[in-house]
Amino acid sequence: MSVVKCFLLSWIGLALGGCGLPPSSTDQSPIFLLAPYVGQGNGLALVNGTQAIVFDAGPPEQGGLSEALRQAGVDTIAAIYLTHPDLDHWGGLDSLLQHFPVRTLVHGPVDPSREASTFHWACRQILSGCSTTWNGQSAVYWDDLRVDVLWPDSGQTFPDDNQGSLVLRTSRRGHGLLLVSGDLDTLGEQIVAPSLGSVEVVELGHHGSRSSGSLAFLGHASPRWVIVQAGVDNSYGHPTAEALGRARAVGAQILQPTPTKNVRLEFQPDE
């Protein structure tokens, strides 16, 4: 049985319609996934009442994620997870920090020589600062929403940032809701695939590039929906027909936010 009560593609400005207004508290509130248009990058959130958990912050000077969260009634960000230190995944931090108090920021391994040029400047503005995470660690929010880290292992280093992208599985009472994997490549996907477990929603890896969203990865996750975040007419050709074809091959419905439409999926509170 699906935990998804309903979904809609909301016109920007009407993001609170369709599935009902979010309650003002987090007690037994429905959790919904908000995937706005952020241009060529990743940035989406799970929202419960007035709080959000953010998975990647979007590219710089775009602001789509902050605006969507404000329209949804969010006033606090409980956590920001950054999958990897590429600008199209953390550049929107500035906008998030301008508009919301952020309790904590969690990221994967970062080359210390690059720290000064990445997102670490933001840690001073975050209430509990930043922390590094790796495979086997987890956190629980709102009493029953769990985020498990499935990749990479502690101490692993990679020649390419994409290869070290965090793989994060969110579940509630054992039921998989959301899987994000940043720009992880096919090799990493194949290693982590057997440990995924099924989820309702997968964010298609690397914006739907040819080398992500492998059949092994998507097959193990067995999502009902696949969300793709990519810029309109981007120069990379994302999302590729190959990646979209693989998503369809595992039976998923594809949802892609556009400059005029956000994606919102609501999960029932009693499952």
What is the contact surface with Zn ion in residues (CB under 5 A)? 88, 183
- Ranges of beta strands (E only) in the chain are 4-11, 31-35, 44-48, 51-55, 76-82, 105-107, 130-132, 138-141, 145-151, 167-172, 175-180, 201-203, 225-227, 253-255, 261-267
Q: Nearer Cβ to Zn ion, position 22 or 205?
A: 205
Q: Nearer Cβ to Zn ion, position 183 or 200?
A: 183
Shortest reach from residue 17's CB to Zn ion, in Å: 30
Rounded distance, CA 117 to CA 129, Å? 17
Q: Nearer Cβ to Zn ion, position 67 or 183?
A: 183
Q: Going by C-beta distance under 8 Å and a sequence separation of 6 or more, which residues neighbour residue 213?
A: 189, 204, 205, 206, 226, 243, 246, 247
Q: Nearer Cβ to Zn ion, position 39 or 223?
A: 39
Shortest reach from residue 82's CB to Zn ion, in Å: 11
Shortest reach from residue 88's CB to Zn ion, in Å: 4
Shortest reach from residue 101's CB to Zn ion, in Å: 26
